[in-house]
Chain A
Amino acid sequence: KAGVTQTPRYLIKTRGQQVTLSCSPISGHRSVSWYQQTPGQGLQFLFEYFSETQRNKGNFPGRFSGRQFSNSRSEMNVSTLELGDSALYLCASSLAAKTNTGELFFGEGSRLTVL
């Protein structure tokens, strides 16, 4: 059974550009969450989607957005990139419609570098 797949794994952008990251959850998982990981802030929750609906959102500016498709695949977009957006962006999927214990299956992440 394939795990969570994230593309691209690495990318370099310049300030002001925008980026789209993709996530394919484990087959059958309908919940997809996104986290930003940086050395200084650790893992920070971005948003969570279930059945194409955003159910929760973290404390990030509106430049960060996401969506989920009918096949549960998800994308996140960051517009007008800033140097501080350099991070590892992690996608996680979950089977449960309502997460009782929060067991998430993470992908390997997309490493974004903003120059």
Chain B
Amino acid sequence: GESVGLHLPTLSVQEGDNSIINCAYSNSASDYFIWYKQESGKGPQFIIDIRSNMDKRQGQRVTVLLNKTVKHLSLQIAATQPGDSAVYFCAEGRRSNDYKLSFGAGTTVTVRA
């Protein structure tokens, strides 16, 4: 069965607002998590990752938060722009299964002008 899942399949955000995309996972053995962005007609693009021994990691305009207690992962996008419109996937990996990522179903983010 699926080891990662997203809370909402779609998210509509006003341009300039912050976006929060959530993801739940079930396997305590996950060693790392990754967020990908997929624009229409393109392959997924790496955004940011976080190891299981971390709670937070920041990138350019993005922050990933990991709550291992409730097995929850979130991606926050600051000052959302039209170019952020895409499908966002969370994925998890394990060192014991190092060459395979398990992806969630994806959240479609639409940015309103």
What residues make up the interface of A, taking CB atoms closer than 8 Å to B? 4, 31, 33, 35, 42-45, 48, 50, 55-56, 58, 90, 92, 98-109
Contacts and interface: CB of A to CB of B under 8 A. Distances in A.
Contact of A90 (B43, B46, B100): B43
Contacts, number: 67
B43 A4 contact: yes
A101 B98 contact: no
B41 A108 contact: yes
Interface stretch (B16-24, B65-73, B74-82, B102-110): B102-110
B49 A48 contact: no
Interface of B: 2, 32, 34, 36, 41-46, 49, 51, 89, 91, 93, 95, 97-106
6 contacts: A42-B89, A43-B103, A48-B100, A98-B98, A99-B99, A103-B46
B51 A101 contact: yes
B43 A58 contact: no
